[in-house]
Structure 1
Amino acid sequence: MQSLLNDSVTILGLLGALAILILTAFIVSTYLNKMKHSKADGVLTQENWDGIKEFKNDLPIGWSTIFLCVIIWALWYMFIGYPLNAYSQIGEYNREVNNYNKSFEEKWTNLSESELSIMGDNIFQVQCSQCHGIDKSGIDGKAANLNSWGRKEYIVNVILKGSKGMNFLAGEMVPIAISKEEAEAIADFVMAEISNSKTPANAETIAKGKELFSVNCVACHGVDGKGVEGMADFAPDLSKYGTHEFLQIVLSRGKNGHIGKMPSFDYVNFDEIQEKALNSFILSDE
């Protein structure tokens, strides 16, 4: 204790603290006495709230000065002392994230078909295998068998068995009363002439499928398979069938299945590369 008192800096600090304490006690006691003994007087405003009026007091000089200084300081801080485009840790972090995302996009932009399929397999196992099974088979009918999805076989199945649809205005697609051979002809025509996948087929079968398509499918899907003109949301656009664009429609809208409803996957926010990868895996023989 003796050594502390011999330190001049410590003594000055203690004296300053004591002075602040005495000054605080004096000011507090002064204002408490004013509160006890002072009487309200001064010029009142004309407004009256249940008999209560307001004094016409000027703004306190100290408060006004501090308020003005804060405004000046804020303007200086934003435009001179620390402009909006100046360095910040948050700004540095955002730049680092953007640079990383760009490098990631460059790395995964030009993938081979096998690399896309591997990526799609990983996405499928996390997001889809719970219902469709790790082998895409649909777990014994609990969900759609995706081993035929995007192919001719799936179209044939939809024609003969119908589809619960994806909440288009046309509603549920009912089974069409035609033979399996005729359904296959329609599927060949769709895959070869309408779908952007352009899967080749026998010319005679395509011609037959085109005729059957015009009789059984045009009412909802239109002559070109892109839907009824002027009603883009009426039925699925078959020109996108078999591509990642059609998969994106399914993921976004969800799908009514025979055992329940597949929800929309918009919350996952797949990008185009991920959609292409997922579509590649579904169309693969793996």
Structure 2
Amino acid sequence: MKSMVIGGIILIVALMAGTYFVAGDAFNSDDYINSLTMLGAVAIITITVFVALKYINQMKNDTAGGELADEKWDGIGEYKNPIPTGWGLAFIGTIVWLFWYWTVGYPTNGFSQIGQWNEETIEFNKKFESKWQNPSNETLTAMGESIFLVQCSPCHGVDAEGINGKAQNLRKRMSQDSVEYVIKNGSNNLKTVYPGGMPPMMLTEDKDIEEVSAYVAGGFKGEQPAAYGVCAGCHAPDGAGIEYVGPNIKTYDNALVSAVLENGKRGLIGIMPSFKGRLNPTQEKAVTAYIKSLGE
């Protein structure tokens, strides 16, 4: 038992040293919450180690005894022994701590850097929205270029051409291969804006798929294929889309770009993650204005 106690003390010291090595800088400030946190870590580590040692020692040396209960499962009985006193006290202590934390404990009555940051961000966004309620298209385009270079160019490139096919080329709406992929596989990326999604194989003939994809990727120029009538029911005859039914497949617009930013997108090239919460509505409009300007 003596060797176990010594080992436990060494373990406690090692764990505390590791904790201080990783997060020691936080305990040199005047924030008393950090000091309480460190004190709590010491208590938890110490109690955990010695409770574990206690029960390891019991398992090695104690023998079961007492009155057996009448119930048995597969020949295995259970003694009518009371719960361990330490376990009971720990359970009650946990309940007491829970109510303390809910009522007077951190973070409900303490300073929070995250809370301060959230408050400042909310205040800034209010000022931003108030200032840019009705910006001109030129202002939106300039704003969108700045946002694009920070948020979008790492994948789409500073020229928006998709970095050799690694991401969507935003200088044109869609490539023929992308249109064929969507026709064959469907698309359910933008359900918050277009809840119905698009089922796969709305066109089944290879000739129809090739003609429609070439027509859509070509910007709806030339003679419209007869098979496009199937697509027009959701995307409109001119490809401009129908609200809540199908997106614009001719050009980029606010609804489409906002939907992609909010939901992310899966397609022929790969997966684009959601940008939900990273841009406010004005910034999304600005990105749309900039992307639209690329094709002009």
Alignment TM class, shorter chain as reference? 0.3 to 0.5
Between structure 1 and structure 2, the one with the greater Rg is: 1
